[in-house]
Amino acid sequence: MATDREEITHFFTDLQDRICQALEDADGLGRFHEDHWERAEGGGGRTRIIQHGAVIEKGGVLFSAVHGPASEAVLNQMNTREPADFYATGVSIVLHPLNPMVPIIHMNVRYFELSTGVCWFGGGIDLTPHYVDADDARWFHQQLKTACDRHDPAYYPKFKTWADDYFFIRHRAETRGIGGIFFDYLRPENDEHKAALFAFVQEVGNTFAPTYTHFMRKNRSLPFGEAEKNWQMLRRGRYVEFNLVWDRGTKFGLETNGRTESILMSMPPQANWLYDHRPAPGSREEQTLNALRKGLDWV
């Protein structure tokens, strides 16, 4: 039987449930608050927000399934002017930790189809440490490579490069973090290929919880002080800049009249900007900035 949107949607709802439970277990204190919402044009979602946890200061695990007439912006993105309806579903996650030694993480897995018959998958996972630790970076990328290699050895190098290019703050000439994998517009050629692409997207989604809870457990008790918190606020500011200026998911959500509170859940609880801030030579902060560039080979 061909993979249909009901099967895909069911996987995403279950994925949201499993990830939220894993994060609550690892945090030990924080609990998710859930909002059900409906989109006037069609569909809706479940927004789950966690705040003031022992590890996670603020985060969101979102599920949505929305549909309706495709906007002109969406049709232009697909290089078509033929009127069509769309259906889009997926899970999106951003977590901002309390301890600067625990990294920010983002994941998105999604499916999109038009009434014309065109459909595709997209998604990825990327990590944004406040302080880049080479061992942590190598471990993270190895988890993603292992997940990719189970489906196609060409996936990791291709999608790793795509992530480097996508999560790039052009006006700062620096990457948002240490990257990960990113893929979009994976269009199935037939039913068998669609099932294979869906299996890969499932693999990516299932990789998230064990990967991030590893960092929660490993780094949650590492010491930090005021200097590290100040740096964390500056790195959060860079995160905000990317999401509001360059992130296509944020733009798509706003252009399709999505729920604003859910779309902007990726924002940290606090952030900071200092004019022309330059870290001290040889400092951990300078070393981190030097690692925020494309093309680093972590595995």
Query: What are 104-156's pLDDT values in tens digits?
Result: 999 999 999 999 989 999 999 999 999 999 999 999 999 999 999 999 999 99
Mean pLDDT, range 229-236, rounded to an integer? 98
Residue 142 token pair: 């190895």
Query: What are 265-283's pLDDT values in tens digits?
Result: 899 999 999 999 999 999 9
Give the pLDDT confidence score for residue 10 in this predicted structure: 98
Clarify whether 67 is annotated catalytic.
no
- Note if the pTM is more than 0.85: yes
Q: Which of 67, 96, 106, 130 is catalytic?
A: 106
For the chain, give the percent of residues with pLDDT over 90. 86
Mean pLDDT, range 188-194, rounded to an integer? 96
Give the pLDDT confidence score for residue 82 in this predicted structure: 78
Mean pLDDT, range 85-100, rounded to an integer? 96
Query: What are 36-83's pLDDT values in tens digits?
Result: 999 888 999 999 999 999 999 999 999 999 999 887 767 776 666 778
Neighbours of 247 (CB within 10 A): 18
**Where does residue 12 fall: left (phi above 0), alpha (psi -120 to 50 degrees), or beta otherwise?**
alpha
Instruction: From the options 3.30.420.40, 3.40.1500.10, 3.40.1390.30, 3.40.120.10, give the CATH code of 5-290.
Output: 3.40.1500.10
